[in-house]
Amino acid sequence: MSVFDFPQLWERPPFEALLACLESLELKPRVWNPRGSRNVVADDQEATFADKREEAIYLSSIVKSGLEWIADDDKETLWDLASRRMSERSGRAGMGTMTRSWPFDTLPNPFTLTINEPAITGDSLGFKTWGSSHLLALHLPLLASTSLFRLFDESLGEPRPRILELGSGTGLLGLAAAATWGVHVTMSDLPAIVPNLAANAEANEKVLRERGASVDVGTLTWGSSDEGVDERLFGTPNQFKIVLAADPIYDDDHPVLLHDAISKQLSLGTDARAVVMVPKRDAVTLTLIDSFLALMATGEAPMDCLEHGELRGQDDWAADEDEEVKCWWGVFGRRKL
């Protein structure tokens, strides 16, 4: 519907007409397409820049209007909806709380995860589902048949590997790992992030149970000796055969913290593996990856990068909506001494 077809305020349209218009203008998050490089976007989100500008002006006019002909309670409803529609046009950071469905329909046993993302603030980036977690989740079946094959080889008679995800955020990667591999995964993050992470785990319990999978959720603050650490889950060092981490490096101190967290949690056996993915956002990120690689090769129990590569996918915060996000990934194992 063209903006010129919207109910015009000078005509004093009824509440129902304005409500229907505002509901039709809802912008939902873009859907990431695992089968191609372009995003699958609903038709109503493919508006031109001029259309979006006119929509924003229209929404602003409702917020600024006194709506004198509308009942007081209904005014509040319209003002609230118009404000939400404006925030949705302010980028992912302005969209507020949302719930997304993530279909993994390219797998032999497809499933869909439901992930809640609270509103993002400056110190809560763990409330966003980052593109690298989705990209690594899609790559898990291939990893299980190649780099991690021995850990999933049932002919060896070994129990399923214990798996930890560091910095789980909203939990998409950890939940996908559990559902894809039919295993138990322990997910972890900072104290402020864990409640939403636990809620997402509970929301997907049925999906996991149908696949013989399960998860635990606990606080694990990197670099902390005891405070901010769930001793019930992480009190025993070097207990996990696989450690996963997506988008864990974006600040100067992260390479050291991530290295130390992996060193403390990953099993000391030479068959243990750490899988790390980092978006190649800029030159700074590339430097941080190099620092992390150097740190992993040092210490009392050094780890070598056994395999690495690049994957491309989507994210909400790419500079261009059609731009692919490039992500470096590496698989690490304990060095044989």
| Secondary-structure breakdown of the chain: helix, strand, coil percentages, each rounded to the nearest 5 | 40, 20, 40
For the chain, what's the residue count? 337
The verdict on pTM exceeding 0.85 is no
Window from 97-101, 246-250, 306-310 with minimum mean pLDDT: 97-101
- The domains of the chain, with CATH numbers, are 3-90 (no CATH), 98-334 (3.40.50.150)
| pLDDT score of 52 more than 80 | no
DSSP helix/strand/coil, 215: strand
DSSP 149-189: HHHH-GGGTPPPPPEEESS-TTSHHHHHHHHHHT-EEEEEE
Structure tokens belonging to residue 191: 């104290």
Nearest alpha carbon to residue 32 among 41, 24, 23: 41
The proportion of the chain whose per-residue pLDDT surpasses 70, expressed as a percent, equals 85
The proportion of the chain whose per-residue pLDDT surpasses 90, expressed as a percent, equals 61
| pLDDT score of 150 more than 50 | yes
